Structure 1
Amino acid sequence: MIRVKDASFISSASSLANTTPEGLSEVAFIGRSNVGKSSIINALTNKKGLAKSSSTPGKTRLINFFNVLLSDEEKDFTLQFVDLPGFGYARVSHSMKEEWQKHLTQYIERRISIRVFVHLIDSRHPFLESDKEVHAYLEGIVRPDQRILRIFTKADKLKQSDVSVIKKNYPDAILVSSSSKKGIDRALKAIFETVFGVES
């Protein structure tokens, strides 16, 4: 079974130019501002407070890098989780929003180290146009050595009928809850196997 042995914050970057050096495989978390990116990163690493969440949607304006040490009981593996600025909701000027978008796009399209895009979707709103646009965008730029994982957050708030609808429309969906830890082990396993090509 795959587990996280340690996780730590490395640095924040406002643009591609001041990101961490290329090298370690990266898992980039992308989603709407209130989808719960920080909470999911904390749940996956089992380290409360590692990624700082804000009560104000859209406040994360930097690309945040975290070092994650994983083990499959036989060997250790190291990668980076990357918490990307959320889209939507940000109460900032149009020019500032355009600047964020430019730097975010440069990172997503030019960063060689990205192996997995984790597209986080609020399971209570699984069919938003903004999420469809982001997924289509990722599919349009993803390289042969990259993969996209759809992970639906806040699954503890769903009825079974809601779960069935999501699974019918997205057969590859992984449903998780950062509060109940539902699906967290499965999500971590999927990320690990996708990055390293090793079954845990």
Structure 2
Amino acid sequence: MQHKKKLFAGVVVLSAVVAISYLSVQVPARKAKSPSFSAGMDQKIISAFLEVWQQYNSLHSYGFDVIQTQLTSSTMQAQPVIGLGDLFGKNRGYKLNVAHKVLDSGELKVADLPDEVLRGWFAHELGHIVDYENHSNVGMIAYGIRYTLSDQYKRDREHEADSIAIRHGFRQEIIATKRYLLENDFISPAYQEQLRKNYMSIRGAELCPDEPTPVLPKLDL
């Protein structure tokens, strides 16, 4: 009987040690963080971004910087921020670079875009970041290489960013942004052609489902 009591006590102690060890390695839930904005950014841009940001709850626990800067090949650019020591880990932040002027539009300032267009553009860029969440830190290197070298991969990722934005409730804003860029004469024809080539069409945005569509198996007919 005494032997059984000692055995039972040993099991209890061992269980407690295992439980404590398990709890000590759990990653605590990340607290919500507010995005930071570069000094001097127009309040209209900040307000439009924050309206969209509120709908992207999955990103609220990350450090996030919105930086207005000179861009030569795009108007907005969403990027992961990964420290060298975290390359093989899981820690990352994000940043969104915002140009002062819309690409290939002459003198049109981003701050002068209609509110709905700004929200649609931000919704698309945050859609990219949600897409980044499907990739490890190392995987983001392969993502960047494939995006640069493969036209099909680039189209797939741009369409997915639009689809994610629509699933977050920004269908009308995405459509408004496309119409604004494709139907205004002050946007260069070359830029408009790139938009038609790589991005979801207006009709595609109208028909895009509100929920993720399952990948159906191919049937031999």
TM-score normalised over the length of structure 2: 0.25
Which structure has greater strand proportion? 1
Relative contact order, higher structure (CA 8 A, sep 6+)? 1
TM-score normalised over the length of structure 1: 0.27
Task: Pick the structure with greater CA Rg.
Answer: 2
Which structure has greater helix proportion? 2
